[in-house]
Amino acid sequence: MSTEAVEPASKIDLAAVGGGGGEIPQFDITLRVRRYNPEVSEEAEWEDFTLTMFGTDRVLDALHKVKWEHDGSLSFRRSCAHGICGSDAMRINGRNRLACKTLLKDLDTSKPITVEAIKGLPVEKDLIVDMEPFFQSYREIMPFLVSKGHEPSGERYQSPEDRERYDDTTKCILCAACTSSCPVFWTDGQYFGPAAIVNAHRFIFDSRDDAGDMRLEILNDKEGVWRCRTTFNCTEACPRGIQVTKAIAEVKQAVLARSM
């Protein structure tokens, strides 16, 4: 829907709207990192680093400062550094977040900031976990559009309302923050987990898709949606703001509606 924007004024008084910016404060932090390297020791241990950081810095900047200036062996995944690639989900002060989206100034810097690998997946080294079980669950829910009948020869239409129906779950970046915050997943690695259900939701509620029944069948399994205990950890953990628990509830309802 293209709405014509108001033509802006050629000149405005900036003092009236104000512009961002100003002096950037500087402060010291203690970063307490859970270290693990089976090449060195089978035991994991905490290690503290004292760092001088800026008000615009994120936890990822602090990790880079350690790696680049103090200890090059500290290992973690990262790529885009602004919350879209999903590489750097980790447990920061006991909560799952993306290191690149967590500003240090938003944490309590008077105490050590703890950083450890996400839970429920095998730790490989420091903050790096084995992601394969996570992607395995994702692949099992048929995360692709299945449309039966003839392929349209031209453009296929979808109403804005139908498109809106599954908008929220298309935002998923597969960072695993939700799945690895789920207490059910911690104790039962067989559970599909929130991320796989979110990605099933994305297709089940897409009007163009014809395989919803098959996905509901898969998720009606004993390791499927019924394992969810509605603790909302996943919704709180999602760095993309997806209403994960709501999506799971909608899938549960769809399973029930189907069996009637």
Only segment of 37-45, 177-185, 214-222, 249-257 that touches another protein (CB under 8 A): 37-45
User: Is the CB of 85 or the CB of 107 nearer to another protein?
Assistant: 85
Q: Is position 101 an interface residue for another protein (rule: CB under 8 A)?
A: yes
For residues 182 and 233, the answer to whether their CB atoms sit within 8 Å is yes
H or E segment to which residue 46 belongs: strand 41-54
| Spatial separation of the C-alpha atoms in residues 150 and 105, rounded to whole Å | 55
- The answer to whether 26 contacts another protein (rule: CB under 8 A) is no
Residues in 211-240 at the binding interface with another protein, rule: CB under 8 A = none
Residue 179 binds another protein (CB under 8 A): no
Q: Which residues of 148-185 are buried (b: 16+ CB within 10 A; e: fewer)?
A: eeeeeeeeeeeeeeeeebbebbeebbbbbbbbbbbebb
x/- letters, 74..93, toward another protein (CB under 8 A): -x-xxxxxxxxxxx------
Cβ atoms < 10 Å from Cβ of 42: 7
Out of 99, 174, 198, 251, the only residue in the binding site for another protein (CB under 8 A) is: 174
Q: Is 111 in the site for another protein (CB under 8 A)?
A: no
The tokens of 97 are what?
């977040």
Give the residues across from 86 on adjacent strands. none
Helix (H, G, I), strand (E, B) or coil at 26: strand
Residue whose CB is less far from another protein, 23 or 28 = 23
If binding is defined by CB under 8 A, does position 148 make contact with another protein? no
Question: At its nearest, how many Å lie between another protein and the CB of residue 187?
Answer: 26
Question: Residues 6 or more apart from 122 whose CB is under 8 A from it?
Answer: 129, 130, 133
Q: Is 149 in the site for another protein (CB under 8 A)?
A: no
Distance CA 209, CA 213 (A): 10
Cα dihedral 181, 184, 186, 188 sign: negative
Instruction: Rule CB under 8 A: say whether 20 interacts with another protein.
Output: yes
Angstrom distance (rounded) from CA 166 to CA 247: 9
Give the dihedral sign, CA 142/145/149/151: negative
Considering only 131, 182, 218, 254, the residue that binds another protein (CB under 8 A) is 131
Q: Both tokens of residue 114?
A: 């703890």
Q: Is 73 in the site for another protein (CB under 8 A)?
A: yes
Q: Does 1 bind another protein (CB under 8 A)?
A: yes
Alpha helix ranges (H) inside 126-243: 132-140, 160-165, 183-187, 194-204, 212-219, 233-237
Indicate which single residue of 28, 110, 155, 259 sits in contact with another protein (rule: CB under 8 A): 155
CB of 254 to another protein, least distance (A): 19
Q: Does 17 bind another protein (CB under 8 A)?
A: yes
Of 6 and 257, CB closest to another protein: 6
Q: Read off the DSSP letter of residue 107.
A: S
- Please choose, out of 45-53, 141-149, 180-188, 242-250, the segment that lies near another protein by the rule CB under 8 A: 141-149
Stretch binding another protein (CB under 8 A), from 109-117, 172-180, 188-196, 227-235: 172-180
CB of 17 to another protein, least distance (A): 6
